[in-house]
Amino acid sequence: MQLLLLLFIITPIIEIAVFIQVGDLMGLGPTLLMVLATAILGVHLLKKQGLHTWQQIQTQLAQGQVPAMAMASAAQLLFAGGLLLTPGFVTDTIGFLLLIPAVRYLVAAQMLKRWTSKASNFQATYSHTANYSYHTQKSQQQSSKYHSHHSGRTVEGDYEDQSPH
């Protein structure tokens, strides 16, 4: 979250500095035309790539496959679109890089690796918590046989013992 806030603060400062440098080098008119041209070209390329990615997603779903890479690619294209519509040379450069399928593939592979890792960590944490809850519930049920304050509440669920035997 702090990184995102930092990016929102630093990006405009960098863009202004680059605008000043390019404006000094080329002049105001050509600089503004270049920004407009990159936005128009970016939107055109984005539309083509987006339709292709959408077709990939549809095809993979029709074949019963999970379109994980295509979905990650689509997320990157959405991000690239935002960058290309934002005036600036640095954001345009990043946006155009994300329009290159090989770059998107590398980024998507990293994204999926990270998401898979987080999902595995969540699953392990959830499994541990469920395992703990089951054993706690069992010990409470056993102790309630011996005490008169049994709540009478039944909790249904599935349990898989994953502890080493």
Per-residue pLDDT, averaged over 109-137, amounts to 67
CA angle 104, 109, 41 (to 5 degrees): 5
CA gyration radius, the chain: 26
Q: Are 111 and 104 within 8 A, CB to CB?
A: no
CB-CB neighbours of 140 under 10 Å: 12
pLDDT of residue 57: 92
pLDDT of residue 147: 45
- Arithmetic mean of pLDDT over the chain: 81
> Tokens at residue 129, please?
């918590």
Per-residue pLDDT, averaged over 127-141, amounts to 55
- Cα separation, 35 vs 29, in Å, equals 10
CA angle 22, 10, 2 (to 5 degrees): 160
Share of the chain above pLDDT 70, in %: 75
Whether residue 87 has pLDDT greater than 50:
yes
